[in-house]
């Protein structure tokens, strides 16, 4: 047969297979070409376009922490590029939106009183849709912006302004100055463009932002090895992408859980060693109940704010948006599981392995701190309160909830969906207010978050906390759950957001504007 000299049996079969896929006139023309005796090889590769790739271990690899970028001479100046990237995680090859091609993005480290300057380059492709009539229908997934979650900083201009729209194909400058007395601790950054934030965060567009300097006088903490653990829920469609809201909305959408973009990584410790884990729940939707086999967890800070005493925990419940700084003292040699344990938040939280802790080697005689310095923020007294207000979280659902399409659900604050042109809460600069957050939703807990100023939780479901707790995000339980907190509205005027940090709910309308004004 002309043109087959030197071909192996496998190549001949491959060529025949390729010919069998050519239909109609094209096949006839190909056959005539063969009959004329012209020498050629098959037009299509025997692999049919499939490119073999080296197998990537799905799990049990050493924990890898993101690249670190630090401030220099009082300024952290960097570039963040938003673009699609391939990711290998848990044996799955994804093609999703990212910061700098990674997930999570680079860890940014700066100090109080310093300035963060970012050139954000939006290299995502053009949007394929217009603005919907209802802006609380997810849309225009490639618009973005930048939020420094937990920062006490200006919400206006080019600072921590989540009202900005950063369109594909353009670059934008961001400049956020931290006050000299800003709390030191674990913070993070993520997109906050209404319509696209959920899709982008679930893709892995998240990163840690560390404000350095906490516990400087506590050697048991400063000498401990520091690890960053960014928790995420991994979701994807059949093509390894996240291009439709239907990929995210079902409560069972999570495929598996990850730390630092790895499925069940290995964290190494030596017997008796103390490590400091900065844990960030960057999940787009669900709480996680963390359980470390045969070990206690010792909390020293929440949401970037130091505690005044160590909290010994058997398990740690951490909601989307929250951070917890934990000391772990390793036990004897062995392998221990860090798991997300079952938890009911109105629907089952995702469960499964997060990491394996391998304890081996020569023992280290390290101690946990006996005491911590006083908490950095003064407790808010009854006599300081200048105003009280109530905020109600609610939702509607179709009669057959499990069968409902996402468009049949509605999420509201004070009975209204988000409207960026409406001011929902007006607060005078310098006010000290007590807010009661109520969740009337029968089905789900919600995660209340407010920008710019942290708050002090004083009671939950009518029960006063023995020690009021500073937070920027808090779980409000379903079926009438209530959280009462107090907050000082200091330093910055402008418009910013309060919302549910279960980002499916925020994207579908559970957000309000807050305007702080100077009289």
Q: What is the DSSP string of 205-260?
A: --EEEEE--TTTT-HHHHTSEEEEEEEEEE---TTS---SGGGT-STT---EEEET
Percent of the chain with pLDDT over 70: 91
d(CA 354, CA 178) in angstroms, rounded, equals: 33
Any idea which residue has 């618009």 for tokens?
143
Percent of the chain with pLDDT over 90: 86
Hey, what are 204's tokens? 């892995």
d(CA 461, CA 439) in angstroms, rounded, equals: 10
Nearest-CA neighbor of 249 among 512, 503, 31, 518? 503
Query: pLDDT confidence of 404, banded at 50, 70, 90?
Result: confident
Choice among 1-5, 106-110, 246-250 with the minimum mean pLDDT: 1-5
What local confidence, expressed as pLDDT, does residue 52 receive? 75
Query: pLDDT confidence of 36, banded at 50, 70, 90?
Result: very low
For the cut 70, the answer to whether the pLDDT of residue 249 exceeds it is: yes
Task: Compute φ and ψ for 202, nearest 5 degrees.
Answer: -65, -20
pLDDT in tens, 132-162: 999 999 999 999 999 999 999 999 999 999 9
User: Around Cβ 93, how many Cβ atoms within 10 Å?
Assistant: 12
Q: What is the CA radius of gyration of the chain?
A: 26
d(CA 302, CA 196) in angstroms, rounded, equals: 28
420 and 194 Cβ atoms separated by less than 8 Å: yes
The pTM assigned to this predicted structure is: 0.90
Counting Cβ atoms within 10 Å, is residue 188 exposed (0-12), middle (13-18) or buried (19+)?
Answer: buried
Q: What is the pLDDT averaged over residues 326-333?
A: 98
């Amino acid at each position: 047969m002309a043109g087959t000299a030197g071909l192996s049996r496998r190549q001949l079969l491959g060529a025949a297979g390729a010919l069998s896929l050519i239909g109609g006139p094209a096949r006839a023309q190909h056959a005539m070409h063969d009959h004329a005796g012209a020498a050629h090889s098959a037009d299509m590769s025997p692999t049919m376009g499939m490119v073999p790739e080296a197998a990537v271990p799905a799990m049990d690899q050493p924990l890898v922490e993101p690249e670190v970028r630090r401030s220099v001479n009082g300024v952290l100046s960097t570039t963040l590029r938003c673009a699609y990237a391939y990711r290998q995680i848990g044996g799955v090859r994804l093609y999703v939106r990212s910061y700098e091609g990674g997930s999570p993005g680079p860890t940014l480290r700066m100090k109080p009183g310093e300035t963060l300057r970012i050139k954000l380059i939006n290299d995502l492709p053009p949007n394929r849709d217009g603005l919907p009539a209802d802006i609380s229908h997810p849309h225009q997934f490639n618009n973005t912006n930048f939020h420094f979650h937990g920062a006490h900083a200006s919400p206006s201009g080019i600072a921590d302004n989540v009202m900005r729209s950063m369109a594909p194909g353009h670059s934008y400058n961001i400049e956020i100055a931290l006050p000299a007395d800003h709390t030191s601790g674990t913070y993070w950054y993520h997109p906050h463009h209404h319509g696209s934030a959920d899709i982008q965060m679930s893709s892995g567009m998240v990163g840690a932002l560390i404000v350095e300097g906490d516990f400087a006088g506590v050697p048991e903490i400063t000498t401990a090895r520091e690890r960053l653990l960014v928790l995420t829920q991994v979701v994807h469609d059949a093509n390894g992408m996240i291009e439709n809201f239907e990929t995210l909305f079902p409560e069972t959408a999570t495929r598996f859980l990850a730390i630092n973009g790895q499925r069940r990584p290995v964290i190494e410790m030596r017997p008796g060693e103390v490590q400091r884990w900065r844990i960030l729940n960057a999940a787009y939707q669900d709480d996680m109940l963390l359980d470390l086999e045969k070990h206690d967890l010792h909390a020293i800070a929440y949401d970037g704010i130091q505690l005044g005493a160590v909290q010994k925990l058997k398990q740690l419940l951490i909601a989307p948006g929250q951070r917890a700084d934990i000391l772990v003292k390793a036990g004897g040699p062995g392998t221990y599981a860090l798991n997300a344990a079952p938890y009911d938040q109105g629907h089952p939280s995702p469960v499964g392995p997060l990491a394996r802790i391998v304890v081996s080697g020569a023992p280290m005689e390290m101690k946990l701190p006996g005491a911590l310095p006083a908490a950095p923020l003064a407790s808010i007294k009854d006599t300081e309160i200048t105003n009280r207000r109530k905020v109600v979280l609610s939702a509607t659902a179709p009669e057959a909830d499990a069968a409902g399409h996402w468009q049949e659900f509605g999420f509201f604050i004070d009975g209204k969906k988000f409207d960026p042109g409406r001011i929902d809460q007006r607060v005078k600069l310098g006010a000290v207010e007590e807010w009661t957050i109520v969740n009337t939703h029968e089905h789900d807990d919600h995660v209340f978050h407010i920008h710019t100023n942290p708050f002090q939780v004083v009671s939950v479901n009518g029960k006063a906390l023995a020690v009021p707790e500073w937070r920027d995000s808090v779980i409000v339980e379903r079926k009438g759950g209530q959280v009462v907190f107090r907050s000082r509205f200091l330093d910055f005027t402008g418009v910013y957001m309060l919302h549910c940090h279960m980002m499916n709910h925020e994207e579908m309308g559970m957000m309000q504007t807050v305007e702080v004004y100077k009289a």
